[in-house]
Structure formats: C-alpha cells, structure tokens
Amino acid sequence: MAQDECSGAANIALDTPTPFDTTAATNNAADPAFGCGGGSPANDIWFEFTAPASYTATVSTCNTATYDTRLSVWSGSCGALVSEGCNDDLFGTCSGNTSQLDVALVAGTQYWVRVAGFTTATGMGDLLVTGPPPPPDECVDADPITPDVPEPIDTTVATPTAAPDFSCAAGGGDLLSPDLWYTFTATDDYMATASTCGTVDYDSKIEVYSGDCVTLVSEACNDDGTGCAGFSSVSTNWVSSLTASPSRVTSCKNTNTSSTTWPRPMASRRHS
C-alpha cells in the first residue's frame, strides 16, 4: 500500500469525505513522532493536498471512524516534515475517540495528513479536509480587511448583489456585475484610499459605504482611477473614528465589468 508512506501519500479532494482503511498500515520508524496521543508507533497512512487559498481548514475523522483515531497535519516535505497540528480525541464533539483539528493554511503550500490510531489501533473511516470558505459575496458576509495590507480578490466566483447599485455607474447595467464585499473599521480620522489601481486584470469598480448592510451610506465611488491601468479603480474618502459610537465601519464593494481571470490586491491605504 503506497499510501502507507509519506512518499506515497494519496491526494485528497477538499470538502469531500474520503474513505480510508488503516488495517494494513505499518509504522515507519524514520517518521517523526506522531505528536499527540502518546509516543507509541503509529500504524499510519498518508494523504496530501495543496491549499488553494490561505484559510483555516478543519481536518477530521470525527464520528466517522470505527476505531480510536489520531490525526496530524504536516508541511515541509517527506523526510523533512514540519508539524502543523495534531489531535487524538476531540472530546465533547467527536464520539468514539475520533479526531478533529483546525489548521491555518497558506495558499500554495502542500500539506500532509497522517491518519493513525491510538497505540496500535487500526480501522476504517472517512477523512474530511474542508476547503476555503465561500467568497464574501454579500454585504452581510463582508470579509474584514486590514488597512495597509493588500487583500487578494477574485471576483470570478462572485455573483451580482441586487442593491444598491453603484452610485458611480457609467452606462448602467451594473446590477449585473459580480461583486464582493469587504469591511474595515476606522481607528483614526484620516483620508483613506480603497484601490485596485494597477493591480487587477479587469475593468473594476469600487464603492465605499458607511452605516450597515440594511442602511448603506455611500462615502465614495470610483470606476476608473486617473492613471490606473486597465480601467482599475481608486476611491478616496475621509473616514472617522467616532467617540460617540464604537467606530465607523465602511464597506468596499468591488465588481468586475468584463471577463476576468485572477485579479489581485485591493488595498485600503492610509493617507494622512
């Protein structure tokens, strides 16, 4: 069974419960210590996958395995593995001493999942590795972004948001444009810039709002920024940290108005 060794790890599809069977698995003394559930040899098998995005994945045999499992996740390479996390039993959530852990993944990095049992236990079950969360397609699902840190965006999987329309629409038809939503909180009074200027490979548009998703108040909108390549956008507005209320939250709505592949950062930059 090739999957018995790290070098023969089977690729696992994300978000897909994948049957496994460790009854023929053996221990390789050259492998690093399992990491949890005691130091005894692990009759383990190996899966691998590459993270398609940076996100926190759940890795689980929870309530699916017929025996007392252990799970560990590794980066690096076979022979030079780096531990990313380990779980023997997630008591209170997973019955029968099955296992589950969350692991923070980095886009483009290959990971290995090692499925074993407590002491020498072996058996069968389903392994699940969750995929990236859905994109922030609607205002209520807006992703928090950090000012001054470029945020990768991909509107190819977005759908149009029904309302409101962009206030800087030119030529109409914007309701049919796929858009994504982000949110940040002003911690100071300053002139902020929300921008895809020169970083996206499609004709973008940005609108910044305050208020909340029920009552959005437009603060600034831009279709094509002066000096920005490919009809990309730069939207500038004054944001405030209010003392009378927790803080002012603004949202950034970004859309594509033409076909697109993989756009890149939307930065929210501070300009004093």
Q: Kindly tell me which of 68 and 174 has the beta carbon lying closer to Ca ion.
A: 68
CB of 205 to Ca ion, least distance (A): 5
Smallest distance from Ca ion to CB 151, Å: 16
Over its C-alpha atoms, the chain yields an Rg (Å, rounded) of 24
What count of residues does the chain have? 272
84 or 89, CB closer to Ca ion?
89
Task: Please identify which residue in 36, 59, 62, 68 interacts with Ca ion, judged by CB under 5 A.
Answer: 68
Give least dist CB 165 to Ca ion, A: 12
Question: Could you say which of 62, 113, 137, 216 contacts Ca ion (CB under 5 A)?
Answer: 137
| Complex with Ca ion: residue 97 or 122, whichever CB lies closer | 97
What is the Cα 49 distance to its own chain's centre? 15
Buried b (16+ CB within 10 A) or exposed e, 27-59: eeeebeebbbbeebbbbbbbbbbebeeeeebeb
Of the candidates 84, 151, 174, 179, which one interacts with Ca ion according to CB under 5 A?
179
User: Is residue 231 part of the contact set for Ca ion (CB under 5 A)?
Assistant: yes
Return d(Cα 113, Cα 100) in angstroms, integer. 12
Q: Who's near 116: CB < 8 A, 6+ residues apart?
A: 22, 25, 34, 37, 42, 43, 44, 45, 69, 70, 71, 72
Q: Which is nearer to Ca ion, 112 or 184 (CB)?
A: 112
- 207 sits near Ca ion (criterion: CB under 5 A): no
**Contact criterion met (CB below 8 Å) for 32 and 83:** yes
Alpha helices in 102-155, H assignment, sequence order = none
Q: Please state, in angstroms and rounded to a whole number, the distance separating the CA atoms of residues 75 and 105.
A: 9
60, 100, 161, 256: which one binds Ca ion (CB under 5 A): 161
Which residue number, 42 or 129, has a Cβ lying nearer to Ca ion?
42
Q: Is 97 a residue that touches Ca ion (CB under 5 A)?
A: yes
Select from 12, 44, 151, 206 the one that contacts Ca ion (CB under 5 A).
44
Residue 203 interacts with Ca ion (CB under 5 A)? yes
Q: How far apart are CA 262 and CA 43, in angstroms?
A: 42
**Interface residues toward Ca ion, by CB under 5 A:** 4, 25, 44, 68, 88-89, 97, 118, 137, 161, 179, 203, 205, 223-224, 231
